[in-house]
Amino acid sequence: MEISMERPVFKAVGTPVEELDTPALVVDVGSVKHNIAEAHRAFVSGPSLLRPDVHSHLCPAIAAMQLDAPGTVGGVAVSTVGEAEVFSENGASDILVRNLLVTKSKIVRACGVASRCSVTVVVESAANAKLLSQISSESGIELGVLAQVKSPGGQIGAASAADALALARVVLELDGLLFKGLYADGEFPSEDVGSNTTQTLLEARATLDNSGIDVPIVSVSANEELFNSGGAEGITEVIAGAYALMDNRHTAYHSNLRHAAKILATIITHPEPEVAWLDTGQKASSIDTGLPEVDGASGVYLSRMSAEHGGLVVEGDAQNSLNVGDKVWLIPSDIGNCANVYDFIHAAENGALEAVWDVAARGRYS
């Protein structure tokens, strides 16, 4: 007997979004387009290009919108080989894997991805580089390599420009690897352009340049200043991802961007004037960085979440206007964590369902 996975029953295109079964992750397509246009504009005219971090949504349809917009390097960043596998199968031709690959099985899989598109990995040690070289050579594949430089306050990467130079020299001598440049990880909202992580990378680049080593790529995770300024001189690419959908965690830094992604929930009980409960809990939102925020309902606040339910505090006039069956919109605290708990995104335009997008890379942790 064949056993198949149960699939959700989708609503018809054109269905008003508030008639969707809940909880549902709903994305306003117009807001996504607005956010991409706003964010990419700085990189069209700025000193750097943008590399979208698709780990922030795990959705090939959104990645395609980002890559179709101007101002990018033409490729994406992912966190895992599993994510790289998914996006390479969905049209991505240039992928940077940001997590260190230190096991044979993951490197073999990365080489498999590199057989159908350009793959760049990061290294922080000669031993790691030699393992990558061994496996890529055996696979008949060339992997691009960025030497990771430790950012201020960071834990991973070459500790100094001299260490980055030594690592680059090792990579240049190894078969199956193509040295492409330098990389630094992490978000540092308090940093200014030209300081700290950016300056650390530029010092490492100068050291390599002065030693006759070409550094075509200098890649760094976005902070507020880099993102809003379109990068910085000497930085070739800035990695950012949350901008497409946005969340509460990034709102303070990007007031020109819209909350394109929201969770639609339903009130299932209103037992006391000041208390109501939603059908949406931690399984449908992720609260690692904080509770979602209620959107567009004055006097209503989310105070707690169990696995499957959310508790609302109801104040003032809302105590009389809120009813069982009413819909409530929630803004996720972290969109990457939130997207990862959904199989599908309901894409809406003008308040109606436009399409259902596959969150194809969700759960691809390895």
The pLDDT tens digits of the residues spanning 147-173 come to 999 988 778 999 999 999 999 999 999
* pLDDT interval class at 9 (50, 70, 90): low
CATH 3.20.20.10 placement within the chain? 74-235
Those residues whose C-beta lies under 8 Å from the C-beta of residue 286, and which sit 6 or more positions away, are 332, 333, 334, 337, 338, 340, 341
Helix axis angle for 126-139 and 161-172, nearest 10°, is 20
Do residues 168 and 180 lie in contact, with contact meaning Cβ atoms separated by under 8 Å?
no
The pLDDT tens digits of the residues spanning 229-264 come to 999 999 999 999 999 999 999 888 888 999 999 999
- Alpha carbons within 13 A on the beta-carbon side of 20: 30
Q: What is the 3-state secondary structure (H, E, C) of the chain?
A: CCCCCCCCCCCCCCCEHHHCCCCEEEEEHHHHHHHHHHHHHHHHHCCCEEEEEHHHCCCHHHHHHHHHCCCECCCEEECCHHHHHHHHCCCCCEEEECCCCCCHHHHHHHHHHHCCCEEEEEECCHHHHHHHHHHHHHHCCCEEEEEEECCCCCCCCECCHHHHHHHHHHHHCCCCEEEEEEEECCCCCCCCCCCCHHHHHHHHHHHHHHCCCCCCEEEEECCHHHHHHCCCCCCCEEEECHHHCCCHHHHCCCCCCCCCEEEEEEEEEEEECCEEEECCCHHHCCCCCCCCEEECCCCEEEEEECCCCEEEEECCCHHHHCCCCCEEEEECCCHHHHHCCCCEEEEEECCEEEEEEECCCCCCCC
Amino acid 194: pLDDT: 42
Amino acid 154: pLDDT: 79
Window from 125-129, 259-263, 286-290, 346-350 with minimum mean pLDDT: 286-290
Which CATH number fits the domain 74-235, given the four candidates 3.30.70.1290, 2.160.10.10, 3.30.360.10, 3.20.20.10?
3.20.20.10
CATH 2.40.37.20 placement within the chain? 17-27+256-358
Residue entry with tokens 């390097």: 73
Those residues whose C-beta lies under 8 Å from the C-beta of residue 5, and which sit 6 or more positions away, are none
The pLDDT tens digits of the residues spanning 296-325 come to 889 999 999 999 999 999 999 999 999 999
Window from 72-86, 146-160, 340-354 with minimum mean pLDDT: 146-160
Kindly state which CATH superfamily the domain 17-27+256-358 is placed in: D-serine dehydratase-like domain (2.40.37.20)
Quick check: pTM over 0.85? yes
- Residue 344 to residue 162: CA distance in whole angstroms: 47
Residue entry with tokens 């299932």: 268
Q: Which residue from 169, 173, 172, 175 is spatially nearest to 207, judged by alpha carbons?
A: 169
The pLDDT tens digits of the residues spanning 103-132 come to 999 999 999 999 999 999 999 999 999 999
